[in-house]
Amino acid sequence: MKNVIALLLCMSFMHTVSANEMDSAKLFFDSLEASFKYQQGQIILEDGIGTLNVPKGFRYLDAAQADYVIHDLWGNPHGQGTLGMIVPEDIGITDERSWAFIITYEEMGYVKDDDAGDIDYDELLKEIQSDAAAANEERVKEGYESISIIGWAAKPYYDSEKKVLHWAKEIKFGETEGTTLNYNVRILGRKGVLVLNAVSSMMELPDVQKNIEPVLASFSYADGNKYADFNPDIDDVAAWTIGGLVAGKVLAKAGIFALLLKNIKLIALAIGGVATAAWRWYKKKTETPTVRNIES
């Protein structure tokens, strides 16, 4: 928790933080961290989708706790529920270095990968930047910061053998200094895709990249849910394509892309933003008589 306190000092331009207040904040965040119920070993994901064997050096927070961290503590817009999150075992949730792999599942149907080799990702980036800019009015109206897509932090790559797609964007939130890493992984299955979304500051990119493979290896679809189990006679084919997954858009039958960015979710705040959000949350909680308990 010492890093939280160090960051609070750096935030003194926003708040006058007394020594007593810092001590109280440290005790509060230490208590909060101790309240989380982390798990390791084998995790059976909801609805029998598959199994997660938490990789060495990581620990797992279940869906209820992950939702609490993402939406209440980190201050992200609400979106579809998570299946939990994987976090480094030596870094606390409210630490300034905090980062995580957020796990969700999108039951969108069987995603054909025919277009994977034909995508111009430079052109696709321009589309994504334009769409993000167009969605900002709605985000700001709902009380969230605007988003600017700076560029690829890691260009999209599709592994046709493992049926895994991953890419990373560098994102800037509002006028906040620094940028955020948004590293996306999609593991294709029979009826949808498992989503692993790594959220961190750009400084953690090397750590995220070196852990992509062990994290990917930790998940396996249950029998009957694997990509190879697809049955064209009874299964639905997704409107999404590989390019659509990267762009965050689905091609409608009329040939018009439906903008989904207004519901952007599971993106951490910009560098320093996790601790900033935690500080704002702490201030709000300590100014009222009730503190929400975390239930697993």
Does residue 13 fall inside a structural domain?
no
Q: Based on the structure, what is the number of domains in the chain?
A: 1
Does residue 17 fall inside a structural domain?
no
pLDDT band at 266 (very low <50, low <70, confident <90, very high): very low
Does residue 19 fall inside a structural domain?
no
Residue 196, pLDDT > 80, answer yes
Q: Which two three-digit tokens encode residue 84?
A: 């939990």
Residue 292, pLDDT > 50, answer no
Does residue 1 fall inside a structural domain?
no
Where in the sequence is the domain holding 227, given as residue range(s)? 38-286
Please provide the distance, in angstroms rounded to a whole number, between the alpha carbons at the two ends of the chain: 22
Confidence at residue 190, expressed as pLDDT on a 0 to 100 scale = 97
CA gap 205, 30 in Å, rounded: 26
Cβ–Cβ < 8 Å for 170, 152: yes
pLDDT band at 208 (very low <50, low <70, confident <90, very high): confident
The SS3 call for residue 274 is helix
CATH of the domain at 113: 3.40.1000.10
Does residue 31 fall inside a structural domain?
no
Lowest mean pLDDT among 13-27, 97-111, 225-239, 271-285: 271-285
CA gap 269, 145 in Å, rounded: 9
Residue 185, pLDDT > 60, answer yes
Residue 139, pLDDT > 90, answer no
What does pLDDT average to over the chain? 76
Within 10 A of 262 (CB to CB), how many other CB atoms are there? Answer: 15
Taking residues 175-191, report their average pLDDT: 87
Q: Is the pTM of this model over 0.95?
A: no
Residue 260, pLDDT > 50, answer no
Q: Distances from the Cα of 192 to the Cαs of 66, 162, 167, in angstroms? A: 21, 15, 18
CA gap 45, 251 in Å, rounded: 30
